[in-house]
Structure 1
């Protein structure tokens, strides 16, 4: 993959962060003032979960990466200061989670992310 925008965003770094074993490499891709919106069964579009700032994002990602599951980035498209990717996660019992995310970048850092996710029930 190895796609880099002119401002320094590296899609391969995103892949390594997603597929890694800890949240730290992924957290480092976010700007200090980043915002993440998550939409799923519990957090509907009219009331999404909103995380403000790298610290809140790190806390959520630390929780996710503390779980026994694998993460894989399926597709990634970088166009200017926008990135879209698909992530697939699998728990040991076979339960799967699929997430689609759209990112906005500023100076090569993620400043906004919207994720829509669904999982097996």
Structure 2
């Protein structure tokens, strides 16, 4: 009898994002996960690439320790693919929108492409 692969926990994603808990978010990633980040400083031709839980954990700790709000706007899980939108706002009103496409392996994030847009 085959067993089903573990399911991605979108509630944990929401708790981590909105609760500013990078440790919770990091629990969703595989040890060998990779994030490719595209924003105003890291272009599609030269994205910032984070490989492994240590690098991803450092980035999550930096982002979620900032004085700003984070909200998971929507999350769609379909098989081994996840897409989600996150909106953020600094106290001065500056806003950031992040869109992520994720590939899962065994219910954990193995690859993530994140595109950020910032108020200028």
| TM-score interval (norm. to shorter) | over 0.9
Structure 1: 5+ residue stretches without partners: none
Alpha-carbon displacement from aligned partner over 1:26-60 (angstroms, at most 9, x marks no partner)? 01100000000000111000100000001100001
Distance in 1 of aligned mates of 2:55 and 2:107: 20
TM-score by length of 1: 0.93
Structure 2: 5+ residue stretches without partners: none
Greater Cα offset, 10-19 or 96-105 = 10-19
**How far off is 1:21 after superposition?**
2.2
How many equivalent residue pairs?
A: 117
TM-score by length of 2: 0.94
Q: Could you say which residue in structure 1 is the equivalent of 2:6? A: 7
Q: Could you say which residue in structure 1 is the equivalent of 2:46? A: 47
Larger radius of gyration: 2
What does 1:21-36 correspond to in 2, within 5 Å?
21-36=20-35
Q: CA RMSD in A?
A: 1.2
**How far off is 1:13 after superposition?**
1.1
What does 1:1-121 correspond to in 2, within 5 Å?
7-121=6-120
Distance in 1 of aligned mates of 2:35 and 2:5: 23
**How far off is 1:22 after superposition?**
2.3
**How far off is 1:8 after superposition?**
2.2
SS in 1 for 2:77: strand
